[in-house]
Homo-oligomer: A and B are copies of this chain.
Amino acid sequence: MERVINFAAGPAAMPLPVLQEIEKDLVNYKGTGLSVMEMSHRSKMYEAIINEAREDLKNILNLNDGYDILFLQGGASLQFAMVPLNLANEGDLAYYAVTGNFANKAWEEAKKWLNAIDLTNSMEDKFNYIPEIPVDKIDSSARYLHITANNTIFGTMYDKVPEVPVPLVADVSSNILGKNYDYRKFALAYAGAQKNLGPAGLTIVIIDKRYLKENENKYVPTMLRYDIHSKNNSLYNTPPTFGIYVAGLTFKWVKSMGGVAELEKRNIEKANMLYDILDHSDFYIPFAKKESRSIMNVTFNLKTEELEAKFVEEAKAKGMINLKGHRVLGGIRASIYNAISIDEVQKLAEFMEIFEKNYR
Instruction: Tell me the A residues contacting B by CB distance below 8 Å.
Output: 1-4, 6, 8-14, 16, 19-20, 22-23, 26-28, 31-35, 37-41, 43, 73-78, 80-81, 85, 109, 112-113, 192, 194, 198-202, 218-219, 221-224, 236-243, 246, 319, 321-322
Contacts and interface: CB of A to CB of B under 8 A. Distances in A.
A26 B27 contact: no
A27 B14 CA distance: 10
Contacts of A242: 199-201, 242-243
A335 to B, nearest CB: 10
B240 A240 contact: yes
Given A73-B74, A222-B80, A242-B199, A19 B35 contact: yes
A319 B78 CA distance: 41
Contact of A11 (B40, B73, B78): B40
Given A81-B223, A109-B221, A241-B200, A27 B33 contact: no
- How many copies of the chain does the oligomer comprise? 2
Contact of A43 (B73, B202, B322): B322
Nearest to A8: B40
Contact of A241 (B2, B43, B199, B218): B199
25 contacts: A1-B32, A2-B33, A4-B33, A4-B34, A6-B33, A11-B40, A11-B241, A13-B34, A14-B35, A19-B35, A23-B23, A33-B321, A34-B321, A37-B199, A40-B322, A41-B200, A73-B78, A73-B201, A81-B221, A112-B219, A200-B240, A201-B239, A201-B241, A221-B224, A240-B240
A322 B39 CA distance: 9
Contacts of A19: 26-27, 35, 37
